[in-house]
Amino acid sequence: MAHAAAVAEWTSPWPKGEVPYRFTADFLTAAGARGRDCTGYERWTRGAEATIACRAMADWTARTGVRFFQADRLDSLDFIPGNGTDGTIGHWPAGNHVHIQKGATYGAVLHELGHVLGLMHEQQRPDRDRYIAFSKFLRDDMKSCNAGLNVCVDVATNFPTIKTKLQSDYDPCSLMHYLSDQTPRHREDPRWSKIYTLTKDGQAAFTKCRLKLKSLPSRCDKPGQKCTITAEDAVIVRRFELGT
C-alpha cells in the first residue's frame, strides 16, 4: 500500500478531473499577464500571486494528470486576494476559491491546491495519534478553547480528526501535513513554535518517507515539508480525481 494523504468522506471530485479557474484583474495586472489564463506564466513577474498559482497548477498537472483551464463558470476556482492563504476542499457547485495573501510562498499555494483537489490535512486523519503527539496547550484547546476567537476558530477547523473515505499509510512527509512550527499562525503565543512531536511510529514513518526527499534542499528535510508534491500525495489525487 502506498504512503499517501487522505480524502475526507464528504469531499467531491472535480468532474472528469478538470478544474476551471480564473484570476482577479488585479492579480493578472500585477503579474504582467497579457491574457486571462496561464499562458507564458514563466515570463511573468516573479513572486506575483498569479505567477505562483500558475506554477503550482502546472506542477499538480505534471504530477497527477488533473487539468486546469481558464473559464468563467459558476463552479470556477477563483484566485483572489486574502488576509491569509487558504482554499476550499474538493469540488463545490459554487464558491470554489484559493485566497492568496501578499507575499505567500509557492509551498503555501501548492498546499492549498492540494485541498482544492480533495486532500485533507494529514494530521486530521483518525489514526494521527499513533504518529504524532500534540503539545498539551493544543490538546487542551481542542477540548475547551478559551484562547480568543481567531485561535479557537483555527483550532476547531484544522486540528480535530475527520472521517475519511480514501487513505493509506500515514505520511509525515506529505505536503498536506502541518509543520510542527506554526509560529506564523499566532505569533503572539510562542507555544505555537512546537505544536507536536513524532511518536515512535511517527519517527519510523518519517525515516522511511524522508529518503524520497533527499534530493531536495536541507530545509525540506522535516515532517510537513512545503517544498514539493510527494509521489504519495499524487497517488491519492489520481485515485480520487481520475480513478487511476
- Could you tell me the pLDDT band of residue 1, with boundaries at 50, 70 and 90? very low
Q: Identify the burial level of 185 via C-beta atoms within 10 angstroms of its C-beta, where 0-12 means exposed, 13-18 middle and 19 or more buried.
A: middle
CA–CA separation, 10 vs 7, rounded Å? 8
| Domain locations in the chain as residue ranges | 7-116, 122-232
pTM listed for this prediction: 0.94
Q: Tell me the three state secondary structure of residue 131.
A: coil
If you average pLDDT over every residue of the chain, what do you get?
A: 94
For 5, the grid coordinates are 494523504
In this predicted structure, the answer to whether residue 104 has a pLDDT above a threshold of 80 is yes
Residue 219: per-residue pLDDT:
94
Assigned superfamily of 7-116: Collagenase (Catalytic Domain) (3.40.390.10)
The per-residue pLDDT for 5 is: 62
- Which among 166, 147, 123, 114 is positioned nearest to 1, based on CA atoms? 166
Give 139-180 pLDDT, tens digit per residue.
Answer: 999 999 887 888 999 999 999 999 988 767 899 999 999 999
Question: pLDDT, tens digit, for every residue of 26-48?
Answer: 999 999 999 999 999 999 999 99
* Residue (of 31, 33, 69, 22) closest to 49 by Cα position: 31
